[in-house]
Structures are given as structure tokens and as C-alpha cells.
Structure 1
């Protein structure tokens, strides 16, 4: 463990990182870079549970409100510009899109949620598809719930997290578009988000803040997801 210097009231002022931990972290960052540099190919889009691909590799699913920057983040992680399609029309993509990352990990791009103008029937269809996928996918290792840092958690995000809690799927909240807000505002939304997820049953405690534009947080997220891949040492 590293040494901690504390001020009045026990507040940690500085932390001296443990050299071994820093070496392990650097190694994981490099492992993430290598994994996400592998070929990533589109497998299929599933509009129903009967068209899901076979369970062969660990899977990570990406969820988020429409226009949260989900496609941009997946493209940034894989170093590609057009792997995941982006759309300016909320709710346009209503299927589960599967991508094979170097035969080590499957990335699942889930349909966006929270689009107010969507017909009731479309919302119900989305709910059945996503809920059925979450509950019946034994290889699903984690869901990444993307939250726009400019707005913080919305009720639709909370509904998604409640669905994941009920399905007993571990999920990790990732803030997006941090290049669009000031550092003080980012720290405030980080604190609020951490406070909320600390009370959630299936929430992963690590919150990662990212920007697909600047690359901030991308290496850290790659490293985190690499621990879930086939052949990972941890």
C-alpha cells in the first residue's frame, strides 16, 4: 500500500503511489492498447432474442441515452472512425450490434434509450429486447452505462441501472464528453454520480471520465475492459 499524508480531520492530501501498483497499472494500460488494436469486425445485428449470436466469448455491452456519444466512444476505443455508426436521429438504431474484438472479447452496442418522441410500441419492444438479453446472456461480463457529463444521471439512466440491478449484471458508469465542460463542473458531476452508484446493488465502484474527441480516459477504459477478455490474467 502507498503512504498517505493526512491533514486535519483525516483528509488525504497526498498519496504516494506504490511502485509495484504503478508498474501493474502501466502493464494493464499497455495490454489494453494491444487488445483494442486487434482487428474488430462486425458480426451481426440482432432485432430479436432469436437472432442473437452463440455465446462463445466474454461480452461487454454499451448502454446509454440517445446521443450520449456511445458510437463515438466505441470508435475511439477501437481506434476506428466508422466501426459503430452514429446517428443524429434519436432512437434510430433499435438492434443489438455485435463486434468481435480479436477473438478475445465481444463488444455489444445496445440501442439508445431515453428518446422522448419514440412511440410506445417501440419503447416496449426495446425493453423486451434489452431485458431479455441482459437476463439470458451468461457470457455478459459487464455493461458500460454512458452518461453525458454535461447533464449527469437522468431518470432514464436510473431506469437502466435498475434493470441491470434486477438482472444481476455488473455495470460500470462512464462519463462522456468531458471536453465540453469545465473542470469544476466535471468534479461536481463526478461526486454526484459516485454518490448515487455507491448505493446501487450491481454498480462497479470505478467511475471513468472520457472524451472521444481528446482521448481522455480512453486508455483507462481499455485497460479496465481488458481484464474481462478471454485469456486475461485478472
Structure 2
């Protein structure tokens, strides 16, 4: 299984430079969306970030863009209640999805988020890849399996990005990478490379930038 879902290699210089230039350019918050009717025009390719509440999604988006407050980080799980669109240069959207699981919100609100998430994933033709964030400290949990199954059903290619790699020792890191690799074997929509990241240390940021820049 480890051969089927290897860790993404360091990008070649050309790919790395393409990613650096993309994220060094203009990145702006466009809008927060609470219903499909509010979606911006599907006139450019987009990538989205999905993750369990408190997985470090906002911190990773900030690290990618080099802007400390672009995505609001919060210690309160479930704080992000909208689908947030950011323009990435002239040709891409970067999309921050609501955190799923353990959200400190009323059941009806959570159900509304989940319905919007399903509509977005199944109805956005310009969506090129979903990045599913998994906490390196914990590996794949039941709520992560749910989002992966939804992506399978929606026929959206997804790639796992493991976050907070600097928060575990090597033994835990290796064990949880192996657990993620085994879990991905059950999901046909999974892209066959895992990106390991640390927002604090910068690990994997260059690789993720190059990956996004290479999508057409």
C-alpha cells in the first residue's frame, strides 16, 4: 500500500518556480458563500481545501500564500461557516471549505453546511482537485472517511495533505502515514501521492504550491 500512495517528491526547479510565482502574485479574498446561488462564476479552475475542524486548514492556506491573516485561524472548532473563495492570480480560485466534524454549532447549522458542501462538490465543473487535510497526530478518522466517500461519489479527485507534521515524533509520524496509506486504498478518487506539511516549519509548502500551479 505504501507503494500505491507514496509521499510526494520534492518538485523539480521549474515546477517549484511556477508555484512560487503563482503564490507570490495577487491573492485576494473574494467572498464567503452560504448558498449555491451565491457562487462566483465558474470561469476559472479551482482547488478546494477540506478538513476536520481544527486540522490547521487556515494556517496552511496562510503559509501557502505567505499572508498571515488571509484565512482566519481560530482555536474554536467549526468557526468557518461559509465556503470562502480567494482569487489566486487571474486564472484560479482557492476555496476554503467549512471544517467538518465536532463543530460547536447547532445541529441544524451543521446539516446546512453539509448540504452546501455536497452541492458544491458535485456541481462545480471547474473544480480540479480537493485537498483533504489529515492531522499527522491522529491519522484518518471516521469523519475523514465520510468526506472521502462524498468525494468518491462526486467523482472529484482528492489528494491527502497531512498537516502538523512537526507536532509528532518520527515513530508516530511513520505509523500514521502508513494508516493513511491503508485508508486511501479504499477510495477510487484518491490521487496517488500524499503531501506532508508543517505550516510552522514550512515543510511541504513548496510541494503543495507546485502541485496547485501544475493543475490545468
Report the TM range for the smaller structure's normalisation.
Answer: over 0.9
Of 67-76 and 115-124, deviating more is 115-124
Q: Deviations over 1:126-181 (max 9, x none)?
A: 11100000111000001000011001111000001011110010001110000100
Q: How many residues align?
A: 209
SS in structure 1 at match of 2:133: strand
Q: Which residues in structure 2 correspond to 1:39-50 (within 5 Å)?
A: 39-50=26-37
Look up the match of 1:127.
114
- Contact between 2:48 and 2:131, CA under 8 Å: does it hold in 1? yes
- Contact between 1:198 and 1:205, CA under 8 Å: does it hold in 2? no
> How far has the Cα of 1:218 moved from its partner?
0.5
Higher relative contact order (CA 8 A, sep 6+): 2
Which ranges of structure 1 fall in alignment gaps of 5 or more residues? 1-11, 13-20, 230-234
Look up the match of 2:52.
65
1:170 equivalent to 2:157? Answer yes
Which ranges of structure 2 fall in alignment gaps of 5 or more residues? 4-8
Look up the match of 1:54.
41
1:189 equivalent to 2:164? Answer no
Root-mean-square deviation (CA, aligned residues, Å) is: 1.6
- Contact between 1:49 and 1:132, CA under 8 Å: does it hold in 2? yes
Larger of the two Rg values belongs to structure: 1
Matched residues in 2 for 1:228 and 1:152: separation? 26
SS in structure 1 at match of 2:12: helix
Segments of 4+ moved more than 4 angstroms: none
1:95 equivalent to 2:82? Answer yes
1:222 equivalent to 2:209? Answer yes
TM-score (norm 1): 0.86
Look up the match of 1:145.
132
